[in-house]
Amino acid sequence: MEISSLTNKFIPAKPASKEAEKPLPAAENKIGNTDNKTSSKAAANYFKAAQSINFGGTSGFKIKKLEDVPCPCCGLIMLTPDSTKKHVNRLNMAKGNKLADRIEQEEEPVFRSNERACAMMAAKTARGTDMNLMQAINKANENLPANFNNICTDVLLNASVYCEENFGENSEIFKFLMSKTDNFNQNNDFYRPNLTEELAKFKNTIPEDKYNALEDMIMKMPLDYKSVEKVMKTIVGKSPTIIAQTLYAPSLATAEHVHPHSLGGKNTAANFLSECAGCNNPRSSMSYLEWLKIHPEFSRNPQVYIEHVEGRIVNGELPDSYYSYPVDIKETLTSESEGHINLKVLDKDKLIELRNAKKAGQEVDIHAETEKSEETEKTEEE
């Protein structure tokens, strides 16, 4: 297969660890009640029996109200209700090439896997026409199996190009991905966790950062054909606004109970991760060991998340009560994952010290501070 022609549209994924080094955006702690379920239930209770409204629990978890927090599971940037509106407006008015460009070049990083597939199909369908989002989705749905194959093959090809550029055309990993690309015509059998499990055999054969970048690329693939079909069924025939809202819904930040609520997990910050709806909802009460089979990148993204949150604490974007959050969430995650996820975190004293340094105008590098504190701990143990 000719792959060199695809190189120009290939954008390599950034290694996840770089996320923590980015300058943090200004605080935009837009309040507003982002917890629709809790609020509507509370309101219903109020009207039923004049009970006191309790907006506690997840609605009080501040991190999910911050803009630009990376999801600790998939690692993608999460949206708030306000930012979702802006994204929806960017798609519901666009047509033809403008719609295609917006989806492929600007919005693509925000979509989660299954919705990404639907959006990318719409982009390909709209290009060179004057179709709006509704027309493009309706048209793409007419030939869903073939379109599904195209979207999956595109991701596999990009991953193959990445391997060819980094490890050469004789590398086993390149040959593996090319054979997956060439033989991709099995839309009803494809199940992404089977592919990531096969990919994991190459984990120790290439540098860690490159493996992670590759895994992130593969995670752009939809979970399976059925999941994409389900999203398409929900949006086909709907208005562009409803379609766009549905496509962005999984990108919204929610509060994930690390120890599931249904199993007695508490409504406290120490048991919460701010996680996108696309990762939170399907997990339900699944154990983290099962979950890691579906989302292998969850083994590394909580570290990116916590360093980002620590940056927000040091910047003064979260209340002082969050000083102990990193240590608390580390404990909860270690216990819930049976030791498979071990965060490196900064303790309360260190965060206060860094917060004061920041206030005094000093630059603070959370990632470097974390590495330093790990070193000190190791030395002290020895």
How many amino acids of this chain bind Zn ion (CB under 5 A)?
5
Instruction: Work out how close the CB of 248 gets to Zn ion at its nearest, in angstroms, rounded to a whole number.
Output: 13
- Per CB under 5 A, the segment of 62-70, 94-102, 220-228, 273-281 that binds Zn ion is 273-281
Q: Does 304 bind Zn ion (CB under 5 A)?
A: no
Name the residue nearer to Zn ion (CB basis): 35 or 164.
35
| Measured distance CA(294)–CA(52) in Å, rounded | 41
Task: Tell whether residue 73 is a contact of Zn ion (CB under 5 A).
Answer: yes
The residue (of 140 and 279) whose beta carbon lies closer to Zn ion is 279
Query: What is the DSSP-derived secondary structure letter of residue 106?
Result: I
Tokens of 174: 């390149």
Q: Cβ closer to Zn ion: 87 or 350?
A: 87
Q: How far is CA 6 from the centre of its chain?
A: 25
Which of 85, 110, 89 is CA-nearest to residue 32?
85
- Exactly one of 13, 66, 71, 122 binds Zn ion (CB under 5 A); that residue is 71
Tell me which stretch binds Zn ion (CB under 5 A): 20-28, 191-199, 211-219, 276-284.
276-284
CB burial string 162-180: b at 16+ within 10 A, e below: bbbebbeeebebbebbbeb
User: Which sign does the torsion angle of CA 137, 139, 143, 146 carry?
Assistant: negative
Q: For the CB of residue 214, give the shortest distance to Zn ion in the complex, in Å.
A: 18
Nearer to Zn ion, 167 or 298 (CB): 298
Q: Give the 3-state secondary structure of residue 169.
A: coil
By CB under 5 A, which span of 19-27, 120-128, 202-210, 278-286 interacts with Zn ion? Answer: 278-286
Of the candidate spans 14-22, 192-200, 219-227, 275-283, the one that interacts with Zn ion by CB under 5 A turns out to be: 275-283
The yes or no reply on residue 279 touching Zn ion (CB under 5 A) is: yes
Residue 322 to residue 316: CA distance in whole angstroms: 10
CB of 382 to Zn ion, least distance (A): 38
Task: Give the three-state DSSP class for 234.
Answer: helix
Q: Which is nearer to Zn ion, 184 or 248 (CB)?
A: 248
Q: Which of 276, 292, 346, 366 binds Zn ion (CB under 5 A)?
A: 276
What string marks each residue from 225 to 244 as x (binds Zn ion by CB under 5 A) or -?
--------------------
Is residue 13 near Zn ion by the rule CB under 5 A?
Answer: no
Interaction residues for Zn ion, span 167-196 (CB under 5 A): none
Counting Cα atoms < 13 Å in the Cβ hemisphere of 158 gives 20
One residue of 66, 69, 74, 126 binding Zn ion per CB under 5 A: 74
255 binds Zn ion, rule: CB under 5 A: no
Q: How far is the CB of 239 from Zn ion (least distance, A)?
A: 27
Report d(CA 95, CA 131) in Å as an integer: 5
Phi-psi region of 228 (alpha: psi -120 to 50; beta: other; left: phi over 0): alpha
Residues composing the chain: 382
CB-nearer residue toward Zn ion: 178 or 279: 279
Q: Return the axis-axis angle of helices 301-314 and 348-359, rounded to nearest 10°.
A: 50
- Beta bridge partners of residue 256, listed in sequence order: 273
Based on the shown chain and the rule CB under 5 A, indicate whether residue 292 belongs to the binding site for Zn ion. no
- With 0-12 CB in 10 A as exposed, 13-18 as middle and 19+ as buried, what is 121? buried
Q: Which residues of the shown chain bind Zn ion in the complex (CB under 5 A)?
A: 71, 73-74, 276, 279
